Amino acid sequence: MVRDGRRRERLRWSKLYSFSCIKPSVVLDTEAPNSLSGPGFSRLVHCNQPKDHTKKSLNYPTNYISTTKYNIITFLPKAIFEQFRRVANLYFLLAAILSLTPVAPFSAVSMIAPLAFVIGLSMAKEALEDWRRFVQDMKVNARKVGVHKGDGRFGYKHWHKIRVGNVVKVEKDHFFPADLLLLSSSYEDGICYVETMNLDGETNLKVKRSLEITLPLDEDEAFKDFTATIRCEDPNPDLYTFVGNFEYDRQVYALDPNQILLRDSKLRNTSYVYGAVIFTGHDSKVMQNATKSPSKRSSIERKMDRIIYILFTLLVLMSLLSSICFAVRTDLEMPDWWYLQPENTTNLYDPSKPTTSGIFHLVTALILYGYLIPISLYVSIEVVKVLQAMFINHDIHMYDGDTGIPAEARTSNLNEELGQVHTILSDKTGTLTCNQMDFLKCSIAGVTYGVRASEVEIAAAKQMASTFPDENSINHYLLENNGGDFESSEIELDGGITFAVEKARKTMIKGFSFEDDRLMQGNWTKEPNAATILMFFRILSLCHTAIPELNKQTGGISYEAESPDEGAFLVAAREFGFEFCKRTQSSVLVRERYSLPGKPVEREFKILNLLEFSSKRKRMSVIVRDEAGQILLLCKGADSIIFDRLSKNGRMYEDDTTKHLNEYGEAGLRTLALAYRELEESDYTIWNIEFLKAKTTIGPDREAQLERLSDLIERELILVGATAVEDKLQKGVPQCIDKLAQAGLKIWVLTGDKMETAINIGFACSLLRQGMKQICLSTTNSDLTSEDAKKAAKENILMQITNASQMVKLEKDPYAAFALIIDGKTLTVALEDDIKNQLLNLAIDCASVICCRVSPKQKALVTRLVREGTGKTTLAIGDGANDVGMIQEADIGVGISGVEGMQAVMASDFSISQFRFLERLLVVHGHWCYKRIAQMICYFFYKNIAFGLTIFYFEAYTGFSGQSIYDDWYMLLFNVVLTSLPVISLGVFEQDVSSEVCLQFPALYQQGPRNLFFDWYRIFGWMGNGLYTSLMIFFLNTNIFNDQAFRAGGQTADMAAVGTTMFTCIIWAVNVQIMLTMSHFTWIQHVFVWVSIAAWYLFLAGYGMSSPLISGNNYKILLEALGPAPVYWAVTLLVTAACNTPYLAHISFQRAWNPHDHHVIQEMKYYKKDAEDQHMWRRESSKARQETKIGLTARVDAKIRQLRGKLQKKVSSLSIRTAR
């Protein structure tokens, strides 16, 4: 590998950063190095000596990773185990084995072949899904990175060949192959920029730095004789901590997370880095956060097992009764049946051994009555689910035209589970947001600027339109909130309602959506407070840590910022005429276009100090000296922090700015306040001496001293204004969340971002709103390593939870809403066994829950807590590797195929390209799939009970002889051919309402979580229907054919004629029943039902015409025996009507007196109320939503209540004045 040369023109950031980058790392002789012996700290790494780790005591894993459920060795045993977790499959396996014995009433092939087909099909599907995961793993393992081969030479190796101790060279925009110790970089002071999006979801770049002692290792040849030793913590999942020592040149240096580069994070804005491998493969922190791929089963499938237990119990009881009766008759009556030659029989019919005969008959009965448990149910469900998955995959409404990516059901096992979701746990970055910040509005000198509406405002206007479909009120709403400079466009709502929305003109500048002519093109110089505006723009262009990058092709400048907010501020400053164009080690150059009339001018500002942003400080400041020699402190931060630091003379614009900040927050925008202070030379000099002294202090008080001095200088500020940046949500996110909330779903956000960012996004997507009471759980103790500290933190958090729960319970306002916000450090304690249930109870009582600064492991643990604690169906959705754990832990995992790679998609059960498609996936496909599968399974049990019990009745009728009334071919074809297509059409095409109606009436979704169509009442109802049908079919047929001739020639019916007539009645009864069950008919359903009935007659005719050696007693039974007999057709009609009349009466009564929601909607659609009476249709659709306190609807409702309150106050005041 050829080295590109050290980039010495780059900045020495350690001279600028006040806190992290210059923290002394060497352990001085007067200090004792960290003791890293004992449990948890046994890792020993010999740098540049990977072969030393092949010893038994240091047998570390390779860098090969696998996320598959199976491998070549485990596939057969694990896959077979998965299949035989289904209790019905166990029964049919036993039946298949017994079919090889003489006691079987059917041939062995007829039992073994269907079982082998079902098991083989399911295993093939499992293998295909796991093969996809294997291919993805191979792509990762086959990536290449530069590795030191010896003698200062580097060469490329595949990731999976890397070993602990290797020195690797990672180049710009490449992922780190393992957890590394940073040794040096292309910057002369050993810093590098790292993107950790795949780990914690954050898009801002992190600054990492090497130890000073390893800075000379700046080229390939420097590693020729390099050796060192690392002693550190054992592999663990904590992304934010690292404890270790680095032994080099007989010195010991302390290591912390600032020197560690984690696997799956990416090197950015740095040409290359050198690093020593510490953790490989599954020892790396990202893999420690991974969870094993689970085997998921839907709740309906688990309940189906319990139904099969019930049916199996019924089967055993029937078989026991049959065998006991058979044994009794064998003992008492068979000796008198001379025609059976009882003295010349086998053990199966031995009068001298009735108990033995009874036991053999028990086995026969278990197989004979096996039609109570339908083996074809599993095949049919597999087929239906695959077809349902195809419809999901081909839904054009879930196809993203921009990326060309459709929705994909990666596993079809969980289709119906989509319709029963109770809680959604969502990632933020890349899932709700699209990782783009846009400068939208600002407040300067008490004046608000920016006329464009935010996405939240436009979405709220749409919602307002559906509530008050008056165009003027909508325009007034937008004008009132945005100032009035808009283009008009027409927006179409669901159901064809249209209204005009004022929408600003689009701009093509990324990061800048601001529009207001008062500030653009230098017009700000004509404003009354031009001097304050000038200071505002200078703060934007100077108060940051970004680096300008010159694009040699276009000549333009781009900015590499640590956070997307800073990037948006710099783009805004450039568009306002203040272009940050160059940074040196001690100065910043800004090109100002309009500060002087006539020509642009470049101004240089000397950087004296930089006090960087942290989640604790909630602000950042830069101290600069301008060209006139004036020293300025420029500060930006959270408004609550800035306002507390304002001087008496600096509060001139505080009230107006506060009002604007509230408006921006209501619009879902992220806000920061901007302020400045002019420093006297003498005051600054005194402070700087103290500050430099604190920077070079060694010891535990260093951070506290720096914080104290920073707080001292960041006082007596003068407020300039505030910024409002829109964290661009993915298209349709607020509307999607609103619809899901109306459908009764709870939504939690789990993000690695800091609390402020998470809260801003909560406002943006309407999970939070103005007036919602926020419960913030946090721990003030930063050190949770000691037992005393853990105990104190636990008591503190438990007290916070108890107080918050009490506050929620005592709240009297019915419209009050609570939001729970908790950070990762607090979750570490709160997820312990003795606290987590109290936390969950509090979270359930809150309208929305936001967990921030959470690790991937914590995301999975929170998901597990919700899933196990509530017992309800959970869905997790995310787009990055850091979301894999929660995706696998949830009942349903949905991956977003976004910009963060395919790790989340590969681990998911369903994948979509945009969060907004989740609405249709759940509210439409989930609702349909749940009802289809539920009705299909209930119908399956109905028809098999109706069929199987007739066999039992005939057994009793014939003295429990083991004789079936039906021909073997009839029984074989019943489930496989003659009734399979209609039930498949029910599972694939049934729709109680259309997709448009599902979206207009989201409360229909609650039929799934409430399990209306698969509760025990309905299940036993269908079983009772099957029992009634079997009684009607058997006893009507046997009584009609018993004592009379059925043909003109006087012939009476034999067993073949009665059995065929009964089977004909079953075919008609169950097919008419499924037609009564269906709400939505297409030509496909008609074809499937009538073809199934016709197939029975065609088979009967063809089978009867075959040789008597094949057809036996059924030779020409339709054409010559039953066909010409009117009683055959009359019985078929009579029995079919008798079987289905009670169900018809039941559904008629239900629709008339106790209708479900979908019954009402179906009737409205039938009478075309949606077209002829739109007012009624809108009124009913507005009612058909679950009461919710989150989403745009809740935001609009709160706004309406606020306006009504104001109106009532005005009316009251007018009444009082009139009375006076």
843-869 pLDDT, tens digit each = 998 888 998 878 888 888 999 999 999
pLDDT in tens, 8-50: 344 444 444 443 333 334 443 334 444 454 456 778 898 988 8
Q: What is the pLDDT of residues 1102-1156, one digit of tens each?
A: 888 888 887 777 888 888 888 888 888 999 999 999 999 999 999 889 888 888 8
293 versus 14: the higher-pLDDT residue is: 293
pLDDT for the residue 500? 39
Portion of the chain with pLDDT greater than 90, in percent: 23
Residue 15's pLDDT is 45
What's the DSSP call for residue 910? E
Round the average pLDDT of the chain to a whole number and report it.
81
> Can you give the pLDDT at residue 32?
41
pLDDT digit string, tens, across residues 680-700: 999 999 998 988 888 766 556
Please report the pLDDT score of residue 269 as a whole number. 79
pLDDT band (50, 70, 90) for residue 1033: very high
**Residue 779: predicted pLDDT:** 77
In 3-state terms, what secondary structure has residue 49? Answer: coil
Q: Which residue has the higher pLDDT, 1110 or 1033?
A: 1033
* pLDDT, tens digit (0-9, with 9 covering 90-100), for 506-545: 446 888 888 888 998 888 888 888 999 999 999 999 998 8
SS3 832: coil
pLDDT of residue 1020: 92
Residue 722 has pLDDT above 90, yes or no: yes
Q: Give the lowest-confidence range in 455-464, 472-481, 711-720, 957-966.
A: 472-481
Residue type, 1002: P
- The CA angle 1007-1013-1015, to the nearest 5 degrees, is 105
Span 342-387, pLDDT tens digits: 666 665 666 667 777 778 878 888 877 877 777 777 778 888 988 9
Strands (E), 763-830: 773-777, 818-823
Per-residue model confidence (pLDDT) at position 814? 77
Q: What tokens were used for 121?
A: 């099909």
Q: What is the pLDDT of residues 972-1019, one digit of tens each?
A: 788 777 888 899 999 999 888 888 888 888 888 888 899 888 999 999
Task: Out of 427, 516, 891, 967, pick the active-site residue.
Answer: 427
Q: How confident is the model at residue 334 (pLDDT cuts 50, 70, 90)?
A: low
Nearest to 935 by CA among 1046, 793, 809, 1077: 1077
**Residue 913 pLDDT exceeds 90:** no
Tell me the percentage of the chain whose pLDDT exceeds 70: 84
Residue with tokens 């110089």: 525
Burial bucket for residue 464 (CB in 10 Å: 0-12, 13-18, 19+): buried
Task: Name the DSSP letter for residue 400.
Answer: B
Residue 634 scores a pLDDT above 90: yes
Instruction: Tell me which H or E stretch contains 666.
Output: helix 654-666
1170 is catalytic: no
What's the full length of the chain, in residues? 1220
Phi, then psi, of 677 in degrees rounded to 5? -150, 135
pLDDT at 485 over 50: no
pLDDT of residue 1026: 93
Average pLDDT over residues 387-411: 88
Q: Is this model's pTM higher than 0.85 or not?
A: no
**Helix residue ranges, H only, 1114-1190:** 1126-1153, 1157-1166, 1169-1172, 1174-1183
Do the Cβ atoms of 1131 and 1046 come closer than 8 Å? no
Q: Tens of pLDDT along 140-158?
A: 899 999 999 888 899 999 9
Which stretch of 223-227, 313-317, 698-702 has the lowest confidence by average pLDDT? 698-702
pLDDT of 482 reads 46
pLDDT at 780 (0 to 100): 66
What is the pLDDT averaged over residues 1168-1174? 65
